[in-house]
Amino acid sequence: MTFRAKPIVKRSGRFDRGGDDRRTLLVNLAFTGAIALSLLILVGYAVWAWWDDHNGTAATINGVALTKDDGRARYAVEKFRLDYTEARIRTLQTLGRIPDSVAAQQLSFLEQRRQTLALIALGRMVDLELQRQLAEREGITVTDADVDAQFLKERTFIAERHGWLIEVAPEADPETGEPGEAQKTAAREKAEEALSDLRAGKTWDEIAKTVSTSSSAPQAGDLGWLDAEAGLDEAFVDALFAVALDTPTAVLEGEDGVFRIGRVTEEAPEEIDTTYEARLAEAEIELADYLLAVRGDVIRQKLDDMVVAELSAPGPQRHVLQIFLPTGTPTPDGVKVRHILFSPKDDPGGAATLPDTDPAWKVAEDEAKAAYETLRKDISKFDEMARTTSDEGSASQTGGRLPFYSPTTPIACGASRSGRTASPS
């Protein structure tokens, strides 16, 4: 008898758990999982990279983190301001309102700023945060109205005028080397004569080139375009912005003793740039980001004002050892003196001719005694009282300081023909 093995026929549609199908499935699953994991890693890295690129810390100021997006926004603001300033300079150059040489200098400066713009932007961003924190500690507040006013100022072209100058400086006295009353009178008369000639019809160029002692005389006194903050004599600039076109000003005596006549031939009135916000949009700068920078400018200005006010205030009176270098050598028993002067009718100059019986003397004496009693209780008030109540003309700047005095100095203690003094020291 012959036996034959029955062939095993693999059934279609059934999974072979121990065969090739199982291995293939596992390989496919593993490959798919690896791909999915790789994708997750790539997506995760992309998300992290995006977050770090935008929200990553660029700087930390006293625990406050400044992000990279903050840095980019500030960079964009600084770049916009440079670009805007450059465009304005080129416009004024084209209009002939600034010389080519001045425009070249200004444009060169802007180009230097561009070379370090990234550092400038980072520094400004850090400064802004430090100033914000300081302002908060000092109780300084910035309102939306403050920001709006500063933003308007930034968009406004201030008024300018094309000014001209005739200047007559007094000559020096041969003996003293300084202008005396005679020299000042002569200079004033010369300036008044020049003004009369102008009003009589003589040309400005003729008078300016022959009379003016200014370095601008060869150019007929051409000062170029000026604004109200030109840095010239204040009264002269005020007159230039008040006078009608092509009309000479009166003769003006400056704080330096020089006599001046001015005129204006052209003017550019104040103008608001209505395209400013559109330019910001073209530069892809969010208005909120720009106003944040403007707010920082306001904070900085308010801090500056606070510091100036503190430094300008009268200092407290203190008992200190003072090193003083006088013009002469004081005697060994000499003392440095300060006083507060109370004059009859608050007029030291008129006291010399005022009769002793005038009631104003008693009023001044009573004021001096009252000040003395106040100072006996609190000597620290001396400096402030000297600057605010003394009738001495220079007391507001000197605080009543006088030279060294010795026992033989011919002064009256506590009284003089100019008034009564309060000096508890």
- The token duo for 412 is 């009256």
Q: Which of 47-51, 98-102, 321-325, 372-376 has the lowest mean pLDDT?
A: 321-325
pLDDT at 324 over 60: no
Find which of 13-17, 180-184, 414-418 is predicted with most confidence, using mean pLDDT. Answer: 180-184
pLDDT in the model for residue 415: 45
Task: Give the Cα separation of 399 and 373 in Å (integer).
Answer: 18
pLDDT band at 8 (very low <50, low <70, confident <90, very high): low
> Is the confidence at residue 98, as pLDDT, over 50?
yes
Higher pLDDT, 368 or 247: 247
- On the question of pLDDT at 52 being above 60, the answer is no
pLDDT in tens, 267-315: 999 999 999 999 999 999 999 999 999 999 999 999 999 988 888 777 6
Residue 214 has pLDDT above 80, yes or no: yes
The percentage of residues in the chain with a pLDDT greater than 70, rounded to a whole number, is 80
List of residues 6+ apart from 299 with CB closer than 8 A: 128, 131, 132, 135, 140, 142
pLDDT band at 10 (very low <50, low <70, confident <90, very high): low
In the prediction, which pLDDT does 294 show? Answer: 94
pLDDT greater than 90 at residue 34: no
Contact 284, 76 (CB under 8 A): yes
Q: For 81-88, what is the mean pLDDT?
A: 93
30-34, 94-98, 315-319, 382-386 — which is least confidently predicted?
315-319
The stretch 71-75 carries a mean pLDDT of: 86
Please, which pLDDT band fits residue 394 given cuts at 50, 70 and 90? confident
Per-residue pLDDT at 414: 43
Q: Which two tokens stand for residue 254?
A: 């400056």
